[in-house]
Structures are given as structure tokens and as C-alpha cells.
Amino acid sequence: MSTFDSELILRMALPGPLRRIFDYLPPSGCTSAQLQPGVRLRVPFGRRKLVGVLLDVADHSELALQKLRRAEALLDSQPILPQELLALMHWASRYYQHSIGEVILGSLPTLLRQGQAARAKTESCWQLSPAGWKTDPGSLKRAPKQAALLQILQQYPAGLDASSLNQQQLNWRSSMARLVLKGWVTIRKREFTLTSPAEADKPKAVAPALNPHQQAVLDAISTGLDHYQCYLLNGITGSGKTEVYLQVIQKVLTAGRQVLVLAPEIGLTPQLMQRFRERLSQQINGPIALLHSGLSDQARLDNWLACAAGRAGVLIGTRSALFTPLPKLGLIILDEEHDLSFKQQDSFRYNARDLAIVRARKAGIPIILGSATPSLESLHNVAQQRSQMLLLPERAGNAQRPQLHLLDIRHQKLEQGLSAQLLTRVRQHLDDKGQVLLFINRRGYAPVLMCHECGWHARCLRCDAHMTVHHGQQQLRCHHCGSQRPVNRGCPDCNSGNLHFMGAGTERVEDTLTARFPHIRILRIDRDSTRRKGSLDQKLAEIQRGAPVILVGTQMLAKGHHFPNVTLVGMLDADYGLFSADFRASERMGQLLLQVAGRAGRAERAGEVLIQTHQPDNPLLHFLLRHDYPGFSQSLLKERAEAQLPPYSHLALLRAESPEAEAAMQFLQQAKQQAALIQPQLLAFGPLPAPMERRAGRFRAQLLFQHHQRGELQQWLARLMPPLENMKSARKVRWSIDVDPMEMY
């Protein structure tokens, strides 16, 4: 025992991959009352300084006190993370076998992670004083600008901020200064909120009367707002799920609580945000906050703080918004729950859907998972009575369901992926003033550049993959590592000039259609054509205007958009999902197909969906043709049960990669031996080289663990991690563990 044994020990989470907690001594002059879990401290680490989060205060350390370093500064007077959120992060760190430091620090807005003060920006707001209210603008004949300002301010009792004033009047500042000098206007500093006072004053759109199905769903959820329950809201596209969300949210807000709405890639669906803004009365419980990757660091911090302080009523965000403090949280909604983007695929590989359920359960509040095409996992949870299914089987309003048909393209001559039948229908729909959406799951011009003389084809130098032709016929790009180079003029092997572009991507389909329909506007929507800020919005606005156009696009088109004038949807290649190595491929294909089909005929006009396939007899496709997603998913669940694949078992994938050819395999071999020591009965498959072994110059391999019991898998994974971290072969590789992996590469 040292003489300092009464000294407090700070147990800190620090950024970095090590799965451990770090001990420090308190900064000098700090009282124990200030050292609450959830505050940030700056600490020395090697020769660097790090910002960490205090987890706990202990009275002893396993290290000798003399070895402990002293934290340098306390950064917060109040915890920035509440206990229940810290508890959720601990849970996540244990379940996903990930460093608690990365889980916690990674969840914070960048500016907080860097140690900035957790204070919201303030802004000025100009408001009439009592004397100002008594002044008649008409009396200011010789100062027309001041009179106009006075008149504007009289319409906004809550006052106006600079950005709203900029919209109302040019060069208002000097006139405003005069009004302030006269004592008619006061300046108030207020904390940044996400909605300007002017917008908060706007009248809200009226909610439509719900149809009986929607009403039943709303009633079911409304009776259980005071306890945990997981609902799977299974409603076909256009059945009015969003409308139900809005009305449940209104109830929760009225009760004085906050709502968390998680959606995939909301940057891509500005319509959702728009609808929320128009409908939710922000007077009740503060404005709507927004968190997604498209925001600046300052905007992220402001939104985060508005949530943490309880000033925002609703938070709409992408997966990482799950970790935002919401002290009055009363409901979680996760829209499009089947969507893959809820799973983070690198670093901290968590599933926001699964963690959202954990958060709701810990908070004792309901959670609604919504989808037209629920994941097999969620359907299985309903079957196990872990969650309750609510159905919306019909389209809301007057919209009808689209008709689905297969186009058998065996033995057919295709023009860049388009069959003659499909092209004929495209023309007919355009002639009838409809819009057409063509879906192809591949961007770029052509997926392969090949020499017709010797068979050479353009490959990536760093990956086991073909280069995709882009920019018309100008550039080769690797979709796996991002390498690019100019398209070869001649064959590098045989010098022949006879190079062919094989297959078609969105660019090439666009070219073909432009040649075929010279008077029709063709809008391509994929990651390349929408890179520039605002270009997607511009295209979406053009579609909304309703004139006949052809949309050509990738998955981006399947995500939550409303295209009321689209009457024909064509799927160019439905077959790819039927032959993949990934056991989830057919589930994804079905979901994508119905999601894309759901874009057709959402207004009064019935839609038609044409699916090109080489497998017209495939039973899975026939379920989908009949809109029988339940039949489709049951048949897949049966296959999963027979193969003992998730959701009937649980997987964890250990991945490793290295620039050296054998290093990844060697590490995984040893990992497998190590695992067998810990638990001989454990099923371990592999190690095997990854389906694409070399990517970005690294050789990759994987080892799959399987267990029928989630809890047991977690326990022995936890015992496996420390020896793996210490293995000598681990130093030569980059490795990671992916619990409940969603993609098997």
C-alpha cells in the first residue's frame, strides 16, 4: 500500500483500438464531486494528449500508483453523456467485441471529440419592445425602410434571426440599428435552434383522416406508449406508414417527450425531412434536429446539443444518431428496417437496428420498425413473439398496386441490356404521358473492357477485380479500391485496336436511350451523377414536375422517394441476386425488387412493373409477382432453418488482411487453434481466402464462427479476444471481428 491510497483513480475510455480501460490520477485541484462519469478529460498518452471520457471512479488500481499519470484538465462541468447512454455503449462494446474507447469517442460529434466546449452557438434575434408594438409603421413616412421592418416584425411575435431577415429585406441592418436606438426593438441572444422562429410560427399542414388499417395500428401503438414493446410495422410501399409515424410522434410530443427517428441515408431523401417539417408542430416540444454525414462539424454539434439539452423534440438521423443523448426519449422509429445501411461495415461494426431495440428496452419505451419488406431476422422475432407485427395491407388514399410481369429474355437480342418488349412498353408509357423508371444495379458505362483478339481484359492492379469503364469511354475505375486510369487505346498484350466494351451500366443505358428517344429527357441517378451538391435535389424536383422523362438509376432510386407520375418500372437484371455466394442475396434481391416496384403508380395512375429475367420459372420470382412477400420470406426462412443459417444460428466473422500473401491465413489458422483451446465444441469454418482475395493491394482471408446460442457465442468471443490481441502473428495483419455480419466478404 502506498501513502496515496486514498487518492481517487479515474477509469477512462480513450480513443484507440485497445479493448481496455485506462487508469489516471485526477487533475490537480479537482474535487471528487466534479468527477462524474460522462465528463471529458484531457490526458497525456505516450507523448500525445488525448481527450477521453470518464467511466468510473475507483479507489484502487491494478497498476502501481507511481506508474499512473495525472490527467491534465477537466473539460466539462456536467457529464456530456448520461448514465443510460454510457450503459448502452458498454453493452455494445461487449456484444460487438469492440474497444469501449472507440465506441464512446466515435459516437461524439467531432468537435467534442477534439475537446471543444459543449456549448451551443448563440445567435441574435430581433424582437419588438412594448414601445415598438405601440408604434404605427404608418407614422414613419420619412423612413420607409424602418416602417417596412416594423411591419414585418409585427407579424413575428417570437422575433426574427438574421437569416430570416435576410430573406425579408435587403440591407436591413442599418435600419434595424435605428429601431434599436429608438428603443422599439430589443436584441435577444438565444441558443441556436434548428428552426428559425419564423418557421416555427408557420401554420402546419393538416393531418389526413386515417384509413381503418392505419387507425388500428395507431390505436395499438398508442395504448402502449409507457412501456417497452417492439413493433414491426409491415406495410406495403405507399400504405401510409409515414403518416402513422407522424401521428404517433405528435402524441409523444404532446406528452412532453422526445422521439428518435432513424432512417437510411436521409441525405438522399430530403422529402422525408420536408414532410416532418410541414407537419409537426414545433411549438409543442421544440424543433426537429437532424444528424447525418452531410452536415458540417458545427451543425452536427449544434443539433447534438439541442437534443442533449432537450430543446429538440424530434431527432431524425442516420445510424450513428442512435447514440445521441435524448433525456426525454419516449419513442424510437426505425424506418426501412431491412436496409443494409443500418449496419456499419467498418471499425465499430454495429447494427443500429439491433442496438435501437436494446436502447428502447433499457429505456422502457416502444420502438417501431417499419418496412414494406421486413428482414428475415425481424420476421423471425415476430414468430418468436419477441416483437409484434402490425399490418398495413393496402395502399393509402386511392393509389392502386402495380402489376408485376416477367419478361423472358432467354434467346432475346438485347440492346445494351434492354429487350425489344421493354423498349416498346417504354414508348407506350411515354406516349401516354407517364414517366418511366429503369433500374440497373451497376453504375458506369460498361463493367468490362476486353480485347476481341486475345481475350485480355482490364483488371485492377491492386484488386482481384475488373475495372469498370466510366465517363463515356474515357476512364477505367475500380469500384473496390477507387483506382483509376485512362481507357487503353490498344491491347497491352497483343497491340490490337479491337477492344470491346462488354455489358452495360447506367451510363451506357442512358446513351442508348438518348439515341432511341431523342426528344425525351433522360435523368441518370447514381452515385456518379449526383456527386455535386444539390444535383440530386434538382433531378428530383424535375421528376416531381411530372413531364414524361426516363429515369435510369441504381439502388439510390429504391430509397423512399415518391414518384407519383412514374407508371412504368423496368428492372434490367433481376437475376444477379439468384446466383450469389452470399446467403442473403436472394432476400436482398426480393426486397430491392419490391422496393423499386413500389415507386410505380403511387398516385391515381396504376403502375406496371416489367422484370427481365433468364429464369422465368424461378419460384422465388413468382412469389414476388403475386406481391406475396410473406410467401417469399417464409420460403427463404425455411431454407435458412434447414441450413442452420441466421436467424436460426448466430455468426461471427473474423477477418484479416495483409500486404503479405500468407500472413492473413497464418493468423487465422492460429486463431482457430486458440478458439479450439477455449471451446472445443465451437463450430469454426475456414480460414478461407475472401471471395475477392486481393483488394487495394492487401490479401484478405476470413474465419467464420457459428453457434446456436447468441449469449454463449458472445461469452467465448470475449475470452478469445485477449489472446488474439497478444498473438505474434497478429502484428503482421490488420484484423477485425464482425459479430452478426451482414455481408460475407
Q: What residues line the site for ligand ADP (CB under 6 A)? A: 208-211, 214, 235, 237-243, 396-397
Given the complex with ligand ADP, which of 240 and 577 has the nearer CB atom?
Answer: 240
Residue 456, binding choice from Zn ion, ligand ADP, none, Cβ under 5 to 8 Å by partner class: Zn ion
**Interactions with Zn ion, residue window 713-742 (CB under 5 A):** none
- CA separation for the pair 165, 152 (Å, rounded): 9
- CA separation for the pair 107, 89 (Å, rounded): 9
3-class DSSP assignment, residue 245: helix
Provide the β-strand partners of residue 611: 406, 571
Given the complex with Zn ion, which of 10 and 463 has the nearer CB atom?
Answer: 463
Measured from the CB of residue 402, what is the shortest distance to ligand ADP in angstroms?
Answer: 13
- x/- mask, Zn ion, residues 470-489, rule CB under 5 A, reads --------x-xx-x------
Residue 478, binding choice from Zn ion, ligand ADP, none, Cβ under 5 to 8 Å by partner class: Zn ion
Given the complex with Zn ion, which of 292 and 698 has the nearer CB atom?
Answer: 698
Residue 74 identity (one-letter amino acid): L
- CA separation for the pair 356, 88 (Å, rounded): 10
How many residues touch Zn ion (CB under 5 A)? 15
Measured from the CB of residue 569, what is the shortest distance to ligand ADP in angstroms?
Answer: 15
Residue 208, binding choice from Zn ion, ligand ADP, none, Cβ under 5 to 8 Å by partner class: ligand ADP
Q: Which of 20, 11, 10, 23 is nearest to 102 (CA)?
A: 20
Backbone dihedral angles phi then psi of residue 191, each to the nearest 5 degrees: -70, 145
Residue 401, binding choice from ligand ADP, Zn ion, none, Cβ under 5 to 8 Å by partner class: none
Residue 241, binding choice from ligand ADP, Zn ion, none, Cβ under 5 to 8 Å by partner class: ligand ADP
Query: How far from 155 is each of 130, 168, 180, 190, 418, CA to CA, in Å?
Result: 14, 12, 18, 19, 57
Residue 240, binding choice from Zn ion, ligand ADP, none, Cβ under 5 to 8 Å by partner class: ligand ADP
Measured from the CB of residue 491, what is the shortest distance to Zn ion in angstroms?
Answer: 3
Residue 494, binding choice from Zn ion, ligand ADP, none, Cβ under 5 to 8 Å by partner class: Zn ion
- CA separation for the pair 627, 296 (Å, rounded): 42
Q: Is the dihedral of CA 117, 119, 125, 127 positive or negative?
A: negative
Q: Is 371 in contact with 379 (CB distance < 8 Å)?
A: no
Given the complex with ligand ADP, which of 235 and 505 has the nearer CB atom?
Answer: 235
Please tell me whether residue 494 binds Zn ion under the rule CB under 5 A. Answer: yes
Residue 697 identity (one-letter amino acid): G
Given the complex with Zn ion, which of 455 and 630 has the nearer CB atom?
Answer: 455
Residue 480, binding choice from Zn ion, ligand ADP, none, Cβ under 5 to 8 Å by partner class: Zn ion
Given the complex with Zn ion, which of 207 and 494 has the nearer CB atom?
Answer: 494
Please tell me whether residue 690 binds Zn ion under the rule CB under 5 A. Answer: no
- CA separation for the pair 217, 235 (Å, rounded): 10
- CA separation for the pair 197, 731 (Å, rounded): 56
- Cis before 366 (ω within 30): no
Measured from the CB of residue 601, what is the shortest distance to ligand ADP in angstroms?
Answer: 12
Backbone dihedral angles phi then psi of residue 190, each to the nearest 5 degrees: -130, 155
Q: Which of 463, 391, 19 is nearest to 220 (CA)?
A: 391
Q: Which of 103, 115, 107 is nearest to 17 (CA)?
A: 103
Q: Kindly report the CA angle at 525 between 317 and 744, in degrees rounded to 5?
A: 65
Given the complex with Zn ion, which of 113 and 480 has the nearer CB atom?
Answer: 480
Please tell me whether residue 463 binds Zn ion under the rule CB under 5 A. Answer: yes
Please tell me whether residue 72 binds Zn ion under the rule CB under 5 A. Answer: no
Helix, strand and coil in the chain, % to nearest 5: 35, 25, 40
Q: Is 707 in contact with 650 (CB distance < 8 Å)?
A: yes
Please give the biggest Cα pair distance in the chain: 92
Given the complex with Zn ion, which of 244 and 451 has the nearer CB atom?
Answer: 451
Given the complex with ligand ADP, which of 237 and 729 has the nearer CB atom?
Answer: 237
Given the complex with ligand ADP, which of 211 and 483 has the nearer CB atom?
Answer: 211
Residue 238, binding choice from ligand ADP, Zn ion, none, Cβ under 5 to 8 Å by partner class: ligand ADP
Provide the β-strand partners of residue 699: 658, 694
Measured from the CB of residue 333, what is the shortest distance to ligand ADP in angstroms?
Answer: 11
Residue 493, binding choice from Zn ion, ligand ADP, none, Cβ under 5 to 8 Å by partner class: Zn ion
**Interactions with Zn ion, residue window 433-462 (CB under 5 A):** 451, 453-454, 456, 460, 462
Measured from the CB of residue 342, what is the shortest distance to ligand ADP in angstroms?
Answer: 17
Measured from the CB of residue 272, what is the shortest distance to ligand ADP in angstroms?
Answer: 9
Given the complex with ligand ADP, which of 97 and 237 has the nearer CB atom?
Answer: 237
For residue 402, the Cα-to-chain-centroid distance in whole angstroms is 28
Residue 239, binding choice from Zn ion, ligand ADP, none, Cβ under 5 to 8 Å by partner class: ligand ADP
Which of 118, 458, 476, 491 forms a contact with Zn ion (CB under 5 A)? Answer: 491
Given the complex with ligand ADP, which of 132 and 607 has the nearer CB atom?
Answer: 607
Measured from the CB of residue 467, what is the shortest distance to Zn ion in angstroms?
Answer: 8
- CA separation for the pair 609, 422 (Å, rounded): 10
- CA separation for the pair 396, 213 (Å, rounded): 9
- CA separation for the pair 399, 727 (Å, rounded): 61
Four-point Cα dihedral 502, 506, 509, 510, nearest 10: -140
Chain positions contacting Zn ion, by CB under 5 A = 451, 453-454, 456, 460, 462-463, 478, 480-481, 483, 491, 493-494, 496
